[in-house]
C-alpha cells in the first residue's frame, strides 16, 4: 500500500510539474509574439533600404507592412498610409509570409527566421508583377524613439503664412532624430490654429516629394492631409498628375490638381479645405 501511495505521489508531482512547464512555455510564446510588433529595419545597404512594421497579431497570425526603397531611391515600394501588405503564420521560430507589393504585384511568398534579436527575411516565391522587396535581408528592431510632438514643435519657430508650394525651397526644413508620422523626418512648423499645433511633414526619399499637413493637440495627431505629391511616381512619364498646394493666413488650404502633357502643366481642378473646431480637415464647398 505504501508503494502505491509513493507512485501516486510521484505521478501527481510530475503531472503538476509538466503543467507548469506547459504554462511557462505558453507565457513565453505570448511574450515572444508581442515582441515582434513594431518596426524592424535593415542596415545592410544605405542606398537600398528595407523595413517591416508589424502592427497586429491575432492568434498565430501576424500582419504588417513593408517599405522597400531600391535603385538608390528611384523605386519606392511603400505606402504612406497604414496598409498591411504582409500576412504571416508564426510557427515556432519561423514566420511563413504571404505578401503583395505596392505596385500591385501579388502572391509573393517569403519566410522570416527569428534568431535572438534578429529577423532574417528570405523570399521563397517572387510575386507576380513589379516588386522591390529584397531576396534576402537581416532586420533589427528599430531604435527610433517615438516623437513627442508637443516638445518638438514648442522648440521650433513657426513660419509666417501664407505659404505656397513654389516657395518651399526657401525654407530651412527642420530634421528630427525621432520617428515622425509615417516615417517622415523633415517638418515645418506653422502658426497655431486655435488650440491646435500645425505642421507640414516632408518625405523626400524618392523621385517626388510627398507633403502632409497634420493637426496636433495634447501630443496626439488629430488629422492628416496629403497636400503635395505625384500620383503616378514616374518622372519619365509624359502624362503625370501632380498635386500642389497653398495655405493662406486664415488656414484655407488650396490643392491644385495638375496634369503634365507635352511638358506643360495643365490645371485640372481645385479643392479647398479648412480646419474645423475639432481639428479635422473639412472640404470647403463653393
Quickly tell me which residue has 500642389 as its cell: 244
Q: Are strands 108-115 and 94-99 parallel, antiparallel or unpaired?
A: antiparallel
pLDDT at 86: 95
Question: Residue 219: its pLDDT value, please?
Answer: 75
> What pTM was computed for the model?
0.51
Domain boundaries, the chain: 38-141, 149-283
Beta carbons of 91 and 118 less than 8 angstroms apart: no
pLDDT value, residue 286: 73
- Cα Rg for the chain, rounded, in angstroms? 25
Residue ranges for the chain with pLDDT beneath 50: 2, 6-8, 10-31, 233
What is the structure's pLDDT at 20? 42
Q: Strands 118-125 and 108-115: what pairing? A: antiparallel
Residues 21-48 pLDDT 10s: 434 333 333 345 778 888 899 877 766 8
Find, among 186, 177, 178, 244, the residue nearest to 214 by Cα.
186
State how far Cα 271 lies from the chain centre.
Answer: 27
pLDDT at residue 11 in the model:
47
Which pLDDT score is estimated for 38?
84
Task: For 91-133, write each residue's pLDDT tens digit.
Answer: 989 999 999 999 999 999 999 999 878 999 999 999 999 999 9
In the prediction, which pLDDT does 137 show? 94
| pLDDT the model gives residue 180 | 62
Amino acid at each position: 500500500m505504501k508503494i502505491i501511495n509513493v507512485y501516486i505521489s510521484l505521478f501527481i508531482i510530475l503531472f503538476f510539474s509538466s503543467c507548469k512547464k506547459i504554462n511557462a512555455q505558453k507565457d513565453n510564446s505570448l511574450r515572444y509574439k508581442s515582441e515582434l510588433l513594431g518596426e524592424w529595419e535593415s542596415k545592410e545597404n544605405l542606398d537600398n533600404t528595407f523595413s517591416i512594421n508589424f502592427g497586429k497579431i491575432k492568434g498565430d497570425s501576424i500582419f504588417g507592412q513593408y517599405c522597400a526603397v531600391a535603385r538608390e531611391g528611384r523605386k519606392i515600394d511603400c505606402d504612406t498610409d497604414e496598409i498591411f501588405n504582409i500576412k504571416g503564420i508564426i510557427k515556432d521560430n519561423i514566420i511563413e509570409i504571404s505578401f503583395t507589393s505596392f505596385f500591385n504585384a501579388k502572391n509573393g511568398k517569403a519566410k522570416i527566421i527569428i534568431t535572438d534579436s534578429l529577423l532574417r527575411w528570405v523570399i521563397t516565391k517572387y510575386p507576380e508583377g513589379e516588386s522591390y522587396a529584397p531576396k534576402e535581408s537581416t532586420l533589427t528592431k528599430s531604435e527610433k524613439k517615438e516623437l513627442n510632438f508637443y516638445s518638438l514643435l514648442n522648440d521650433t519657430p513657426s513660419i509666417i503664412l501664407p505659404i505656397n508650394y513654389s516657395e518651399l525651397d526657401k525654407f530651412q526644413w527642420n530634421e528630427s532624430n525621432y520617428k515622425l508620422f509615417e516615417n517622415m523626418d523633415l517638418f515645418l512648423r506653422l502658426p497655431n490654429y486655435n488650440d491646435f499645433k500645425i505642421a507640414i511633414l516632408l518625405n523626400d526619399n524618392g523621385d517626388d516629394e510627398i507633403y502632409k499637413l497634420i493637426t496636433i493637440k495634447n501630443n496626439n495627431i488629430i488629422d492628416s492631409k496629403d497636400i503635395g505629391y505625384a500620383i503616378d511616381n514616374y518622372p519619365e512619364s509624359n502624362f503625370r498628375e501632380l498635386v500642389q498646394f497653398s495655405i493662406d493666413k486664415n488656414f484655407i488650404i488650396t490643392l491644385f490638381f495638375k496634369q503634365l502633357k507635352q511638358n506643360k502643366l495643365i490645371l485640372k481642378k481645385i479643392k479647398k479645405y479648412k480646419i474645423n473646431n475639432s481639428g479635422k480637415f473639412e472640404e470647403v464647398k463653393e
